[in-house]
Chain A
Amino acid sequence: MTAAHTSPARPAAPDQDAVPLVEVGGLRRVFDLSKPWLNRMIEGGGRVTLTAVDGVDFSINRGETYALVGESGSGKSTIAKMAVGLLPPSAGRVSIDGTDVWGEKGADAMRRMRRKIQMIFQDPFASLNPRWRVQAIIEEPIKAFGLIADPKDRAARVGELLSLVGLDARDGQKFPHEFSGGQRQRIAIARALASDPQFIVCDEPTSALDVSVQAQVLNLLRDLQERLGLTYLFISHNLAVVRHVATRVGVLYLGRLVEEAPARELFAAPKHPYTKMLLDAVPDIEMEGKERLAIAGEIPNPVNPPPGCHFHPRCPFVMEHCSTDTPPAHLVGDAAVRCHLFAEDRAKTR
């Protein structure tokens, strides 16, 4: 553990090291779950809203992998959709390479910006059109962005992409159903790479795969990152997987980032009580018969989250003001922790 920040396996280009490619600031998304207007008038009852993402800030440096972890309902996928421009945020902004994803721009600027962003989805059985040949699937982004006009050159590029992800160039003539789950995910990766993106959002890319295949896909993603200098936003609920891919990790709980730290630090010394519990709850083959710490309770309903710190009803270190005051982000070393426990530490050091 000598080099805490630079990981030997994933060197970033030195001159670009500290330049964030992706910046997310004050991101917020509220969904309206109210009944239709007429029903509200007749039956009574006001508007019902769900705050899926509540003021999330983070930035991702070039060539790094930022992982968002959290349980279901924590807002992981909502953030992913806003980051790629599939879902407009209620407030806040996402900028990629200095361009605001949701800024008002001409169609051309928008198109140029979108080319830099691609997404890999969880289920490779749902994300590939079963009636298209692999060739057509992969060249779709190339056509859509008008990158290569000549069909022959395009076919050559598709062959190149296929061999880049470890498939045969001739596989382009096949249909998705002829491939296994892991191979399909490789096709999805090839499609994502087709527009020569800088930033790829991976939404649970290995959750639908078996372990032996999961390892193949994770290694491939890492390999591609090294070769092409890609930046990843990696979304997962599997902490062991995140530990293997991430440079920085953000832990989400009910739409808020409760802890954000370099991956090594987060796994070596988790600070937020929720992060600690989450790490203790993971079943691990290296457990050596260690009893898992069962977390008390379940994630509360996000429509009506507990006031103050959302985690306080389940927290073993709960204090009086936890139920009234929302904790700000306290800086502890390289980590930002939203927990009142760390407010004191800070006062002391001052």
Chain B
Amino acid sequence: MTATLSVRNLRVEIPTRAGVLRAIDDLSFDIAPGEVLGVVGESGAGKSITGSAIIGLLEPPGRVAAGEIRLGGERIDDLGPDQMRRIRGRRIGMIFQDPLTSLNPLYRIGDQLTETILTHERLSQRAARDKAQKLLEEVGIPAAGARLSAYPHQFSGGMRQRVVIALALCADPELVIADEPTTALDVSVQAQIIALLKRLCSERGASVMLITHDMGVIAETADRVCVLYAGRLAEIGPVRAVVKHPQHPYTHGLMSAIPSLAGDPDEELAQIPGAMPRLGAIPDGCAFNPRCDHAFARCRAERPHPYSAGASDAACFLHDPDPARRPPEPVARAAAARGIAAADETPEATS
């Protein structure tokens, strides 16, 4: 089966006065039909840029410098603006973080929905309006018929995000890119929106690329997760495997740093020393090497490419098939000191 979305060796460059920055470097992943892929990383890791590159909305001077993006098997990264516009909205739906800025404040909700529907489908005005109302009902807006003539400011944050979801789904896209869809919302509303997004996409068989910094949201929503660090892939794999048995030292540090509602509250949180490098100052070799407990000479000289590691793929020499080329030190040392299962331990040892 062809993947809904297939990204191969994607490289995004941003030319600046100080030189060309690589915002995304050699990133590859697939999203299968109906799959929810979570994309996580800290700010500046390249999550949103990946999303913008896929829908062809990179902010200039940013550009796709190498690699391929295929949607349902067809290449879309070399299409012209007009062709791309036909794909956007119709085949790829988009949901952005702030529902207030993704809706036009001067138009009624009903008009915005019908306009979008009419752009993608040949329908009469009346049929489009009926469809808009049905969509609003589907996303759980009470009294949908009456709310069609309301303006965005008359909706609450959660309701507005529901409208944005309706907009994204109105042309039945095969892929929905949701960029931090719940970050601006309160927790109680967040749960509703995530549940809604998941239900609607699975009903329609749409694939979802869920971009967020919130690992909790990913853990409960995504099938697979792709962890980015400084514009590069750190680890990609099934969500349970990545959360419970992270294979890349960065993922491992990230998972242990997240405060959880389980576990001992009096224990210090594990912390990764330092911060993610800026794009202009990514170290040679592995981008994570200055912060990594396992780093050795090879990490500083050579860049690791994803190796198969358990259920996931991790870009780390710890998983080099040739044991002689792995880091020499005992791998578990630092992690064991923090009382967390080391990257290569068996599942039983986790708790």
B-binding residues in A (CB < 8 A) = 7-10, 71-72, 180-183, 210-216, 218-219, 222, 237-241, 243-244, 263-264, 267, 277-279, 281-287, 289-290, 292-295, 298-299
Contacts and interface: CB of A to CB of B under 8 A. Distances in A.
Nearest to A285: B219
Contacts of B216: 240, 282-285, 287
B156 A298 contact: yes
Interface string B152-166: 000011110000000
Contacts of B259: 214-215, 218, 238, 240-241, 243-244
Given A180-B275, A214-B257, A215-B270, A287 B219 contact: yes
24 contacts: A7-B266, A72-B186, A180-B275, A212-B253, A212-B254, A212-B271, A212-B272, A213-B275, A215-B257, A215-B258, A215-B259, A219-B268, A238-B259, A239-B187, A240-B216, A240-B258, A240-B261, A243-B261, A282-B216, A283-B187, A283-B217, A284-B219, A285-B258, A293-B191
A334 B157 CA distance: 36
Interface in B293-336: none
Nearest to B184: A72
Contacts of A237: 186-187
A93 B140 CA distance: 43
What are the 8 A-B residue pairs with the smallest beta carbon separation, nearest first? A283-B216, A210-B42, A71-B186, A215-B257, A295-B188, A215-B269, A240-B259, A9-B266
B209 to A, nearest CB: 18
A202 to B, nearest CB: 15
Contacts of A183: 275
Contact of A283 (B43, B190, B267, B272): B190
Contacts of B187: 71, 237, 239, 278, 281-283
A284 B188 contact: no
B200 interface: no
Nearest to B187: A281
A284 B271 contact: no
Contacts of A72: 186
B260 A219 contact: no
B195 interface: yes
Interface string B233-266: 0000000100100000000011101111111011
Interface residues of B, number: 44
A278 B265 contact: no
B189 A298 contact: yes
Contacts of A10: 266
B138 interface: no
B271 A216 contact: yes
A263 B261 CA distance: 12
Given A239-B261, A283-B219, A278 B269 contact: no
Given A284-B220, A289-B240, A295-B191, 4 more contacts: A214-B259, A219-B268, A240-B259, A287-B220
B115 interface: no
A210 B191 contact: no
Given A281-B191, A282-B216, A298-B158, A215 B271 contact: yes
Nearest to A206: B259
B275 A285 contact: no
Given A244-B269, A292-B220, A294-B195, A71 B43 contact: no
Contact of B191 (A182, A241, A264, A283): A283
A327 to B, nearest CB: 20
Interface string B18-55: 00000000000000000000000011000000000000
A306 to B, nearest CB: 15
Nearest to A179: B275
Contact of A295 (B192, B217, B275): B192
B213 interface: yes
A97 to B, nearest CB: 27
B344 interface: no
Contacts of A284: 216, 219-220, 260-262
B257 A222 contact: no
B261 A211 contact: no
Contacts of B188: 71, 277-278, 281, 295, 298-299
A82 B261 CA distance: 30
Contacts of B189: 295, 298
B265 A210 contact: no
A282 B255 CA distance: 16
A279 B261 contact: yes
B111 interface: no
B194 interface: yes
Nearest to B215: A285
A212 B257 contact: yes
B214 interface: yes
A211 B265 contact: no
B343 to A, nearest CB: 16
B231 to A, nearest CB: 15
B109 to A, nearest CB: 17
A264 B258 contact: no
A182 to B, nearest CB: 6
